[in-house]
Structure 1
Amino acid sequence: MDQHVMRPVRAGEWRQVKELRIAALRDPAAPVAFLETVEQAESHPDLLWQRRAEGASHGRRARQFVAEGSDGVWDGGVTVLVEEAGSVDLFGQAVEQGQGHLVGVFVRAEQRGSGLAEALLAAAVEWAWALEEPVLERVRLFVHRDNARAAAFYRRCGFTASGWTVVLDSGQEEHEYLVRRPG
């Protein structure tokens, strides 16, 4: 991996957040990796991107991490959404224990295989475990049933299939993978 810094986004970096998301949606794997199209993302008003960057830059609810190269280019990113016990998750299910939910995992093609994805996941999971009162008991993510490459990558990073499957309104079947709090 070239020199990259894994760091949270800053509130004013909405243009970079938007550019990275659109780059991810242009990736050939996007149809089985993301639940949004390029056209949808490009149609969002700037205010949405500004709010997204602001909301993922601080606090407990969400945090977006990026891999920033020495040239200032963002070569990857991941967002942790915190799902508190007693809340309802993105799929309308009751959350029984506090958990982090990883979304938007992306590394530019030219950086794949460099260790960047592993470093991003490590930063995201480390942040989730550092949250206090209440602590998060697990971190999860979902993988499309046809995305074997991603499933294998997450297994190598310590995530295990929980056996829970979600079928979205679009008909896409997503499988939950998780890692439990150590200790």
Structure 2
Amino acid sequence: MVTSEDYDVRAIRPEEWEKVKALRLDALRDPAAPLAFLEGYEEAAAKADLFWQDRATGSGKGSATAQQFIAELPDGSWAGSLTVLMEEAGTQDWAGFPVERRQGHVVGVYVRPEHRGNGLIKALFDAGVAWAWGRGAERVRLLVHEANERAQGAYRKAGFAPSGVRVPFVKDESQSELEFVLDR
């Protein structure tokens, strides 16, 4: 059995853009993708290579505002990833809500099915949260669809708790996403 110690959890590198693209496309094929991600497979697959190169370069050069972390196996394959975006106090988030304090916002969480349930998600979150704390975040947050119970359970295990904030789901405003937070 593979355990969380078998992975190298690290920031991506700019030259790894093809692996960034492949992992994202695999994530968008997951049965939970319609609840977990705001874009669909066809939309992401149609993006030019330059988009993926820019994405990897933006995160892979030690950006102060965004960082993608991956879990790599000794054979070089990737088992999962997450990205942390920094949000500044006094601004608005992507949904138009005011940002009240400097915080990290976790997005794009994905672990391949064969690597779930062994502590990997916590290792990814530990790396992302440490990065956010290192940039002065007062808390780290994420949004999760109200019906995505598997993800909610994983986030609770990683130390996050519901804040009580509900955000209308972009794809269907009759549904909601729940904010989960981890305070410093």
Shared fold (TM-score, shorter chain, > 0.5): yes
Deviations 1:88-142 (A, max 9, x none): 21111221100000001111011111111110011100111111xxx11100001
The TM-score with structure 2 as length reference comes to: 0.93
Deviations 1:53-107 (A, max 9, x none): 0111112110000000000001100000000112221111221100000001111
Which amino acid letter does the alignment assign opposite residue 104 of structure 1? G
**Distance between the aligned counterparts of 1:67 and 1:178, measured in 2?**
22
**Distance between the aligned counterparts of 2:67 and 2:134, measured in 1?**
12
2:126 alignment partner in structure 1? 122
The correspondence of residues 1-183 of structure 1 with structure 2, limited to 5 A, is 1=3, 3-57=6-60, 58-131=62-135, 135-171=136-172, 172-181=175-184
List structure 1 segments (4+ residues) > 4 angstroms apart after TM superposition: none
Q: Secondary structure at the match of 2:107?
A: strand
| Shift in Å, 1:169 | 3.8
**Distance between the aligned counterparts of 1:72 and 1:153, measured in 2?**
25
Q: Secondary structure at the match of 2:92?
A: coil
Structure 2: runs of 5+ lacking an equivalent: none
Q: Secondary structure at the match of 1:104?
A: strand
Quickly say closer, same or farther: Cα 1:118–1:169, change in 2 above 3 A.
Answer: closer
CA contact under 8 A between 2:84 and 2:105: conserved in structure 1?
yes
| Shift in Å, 1:148 | 1.1
Structure 1: runs of 5+ lacking an equivalent: none
Deviations 1:152-176 (A, max 9, x none): 2211221110111111342141100
Quote the sequence identity (%). Answer: 51
CA contact under 8 A between 2:169 and 2:176: conserved in structure 1?
yes
CA RMSD of aligned residues (A): 1.1
CA contact under 8 A between 2:93 and 2:99: conserved in structure 1?
yes
**Distance between the aligned counterparts of 2:170 and 2:23, measured in 1?**
26
**Distance between the aligned counterparts of 2:142 and 2:100, measured in 1?**
16
| Shift in Å, 1:177 | 0.1
**Distance between the aligned counterparts of 1:75 and 1:34, measured in 2?**
18
